[in-house]
Amino acid sequence: MIDNKNCERTAKCPVYLGILISNGIIIQTYRKLFCESGSDGKNMCRRYQVAKIMGVCPQNILPNTHLTVDEIVEKMKAKGLKPVSDGATVQFEK
């Protein structure tokens, strides 16, 4: 069960699920800093920020990537993806 403190996207997030990272200690650290720290954690997470704008986030993006949100969004737009404009529910790419 996801409580108010956890990000609502954990069920499909490759970072939270341990798909993107194999080291258990690193996964736990990311979860604690970004996924389980309420609004503060989500607002620091590049995956969350990009998904909020674009509706999806590239599979290989870490929450603390050196890329800015604008850089990631521009790369996605260059591939033909468009920002979410209708307030649709944000989902991560599979």
Transcribe 28-80 into DSSP letters: HHHIIIIISSHHHHHHH-HHHHHHHHHS---TT--TT-SS-HHHHHHHHHHTT
Q: How many domains does the chain have?
A: 1
Domain extent at residue 57: 1-94
pLDDT of residue 87: 46
pLDDT of residue 5: 86
Instruction: Output the tens digit of pLDDT for each of the chain's 94 residues.
Output: 444 689 999 999 999 999 988 899 999 999 999 999 999 999 999 999 999 999 999 999 999 999 999 999 999 999 999 998 544 444 444 3
pLDDT of residue 85: 56
Predicted TM-score of the model (pTM): 0.82
pLDDT of residue 22: 87
